[in-house]
Structure 1
Amino acid sequence: MIEQSPDASGTTAERGRRRPHRRPLDVEDSASRITAYVYGNIVVLATLFPLSRAEAEEGRSFAVVLGVSFATFLAHAFAESAGRRARRSDRLGWPEIRAELRDSAPVLTSGLLPAAVLGLAWLTGVPGLAAQLVAEGYVIVRLALTGVIIQRLRGEASSLRTVLAGVSLAAVAAAVSVVKVLIAH
């Protein structure tokens, strides 16, 4: 039997490896981060789909994905702060604003790697189609991992059911993104 106990540095030793010892987030913070994670991934996927191979090769896709990710992050943090303010009678202080920015960070991180891949295609001459497929695949994989991430934030182990739920979510999100592209463009 393997014994696990946090040491003074806050890590847990297991089989010679050190892992961070972390408490599960409270329900409110966990839900806020998952909302930002799913929303950010859907927005980035919907942003990627209508972009062309030529736009990836010319650098426009890089700028669009990065700009949309950053603007959506700010809008999401603002909306979450407004919601938090509506639930309270006092003003939000810097600790609460920082918490909203932290909880909204998954919106921003959803677009960083896709933007980097598209930026590298632009700078190095990698074919735009290849860069687009890698960027879109990355976002779909992130969506497929949603169930696993929810379990991790809860401090629970993942199961096959959680993984299958994430894969289903990825399929639905891809469909939503396609519909958004068809309606908006």
Structure 2
Amino acid sequence: MTGAPEPSRPRLSREDASSRITAYVYGNIVTLATIAPLTTVAAENGQGFWYVLATAFSTFLAHTFAESIGRRARTDERLSAAVLRAELRDSLPVLTSGILPAAVLGLAWLTAVPGSTAEIIALTYLVIRLALIGPIVARIRGERPSFRTFVAGIVLALVGIAVALVKVGLGS
């Protein structure tokens, strides 16, 4: 089946890509810090599902609000509907960082998947997402991913884990 080639999307500006990467990192770390202190019981009774979903959504709204205020400080551009849509789009990775982990916790709630298994899967998923940041940033910068960018991603994942542990330690 041949047809007209799909129109290519305009290339994302470096500023927009940077905003989305920031939201991606922030969302993954917040979700990691949200899941880390959960108990197996919370994963199995639905509390973990709702907690992760509510945290992802409220953090998405807060991040969008903060970014729109920051944009207002950086430019003279008024906060129009188009600007707000752009901020919502750029902040979306905060929300999407919590969707799959919440779904995995939801499986523990609705099925016989053990809560501890769901938590391990969700946490592993988030750590892998953080570890992939190095190569993603390299691509945005027009570079080929290298051993150095993979190491940078692993270091970032370790920093994310450390931040989550600080939250767990302070929250206990």
- Which TM-score band applies after superposition, normalised by the shorter structure? over 0.9
Match of residue 156 from structure 2: 169
Match of residue 33 from structure 2: 46
Match of residue 96 from structure 1: 83
Give the TM-score taking structure 1 as reference length: 0.86
How many positions carry a matched residue from both structures? Answer: 169
Question: How many percent of aligned residue pairs carry the same amino acid?
Answer: 58
Which one has a larger percent helix, Structure 1 or Structure 2? 2
Give a deviation string over 1:8-61, Cα, whole Å, max 9, x none.
Answer: 423xxxxxxxxxx56542221121111101111110000001100000000000
Give the TM-score taking structure 2 as reference length: 0.92
**Greater alpha carbon shift after TM alignment, 147-156 vs 73-82:** 147-156
Cα displacement (A) at 1:155: 4.3
Cα displacement (A) at 1:95: 1.4
Cα displacement (A) at 1:88: 2.5
Larger Rg: 1
Distance 1:86 1:125 in 2: 50
SS of the residue aligned with 2:123? helix
Query: Is it true that 1:27 corresponds to 2:14 in the alignment?
Result: yes
Match of residue 59 from structure 1: 46
Task: Indicate conservation of the 8 Å contact 1:25/1:154, yes or no.
Answer: no
RMSD: 1.5
Gaps of at least 5 residues in structure 1 are 1-6, 11-20
Distance 1:141 1:90 in 2: 37
Gaps of at least 5 residues in structure 2 are none
Which one has a larger percent strand, Structure 1 or Structure 2? 1
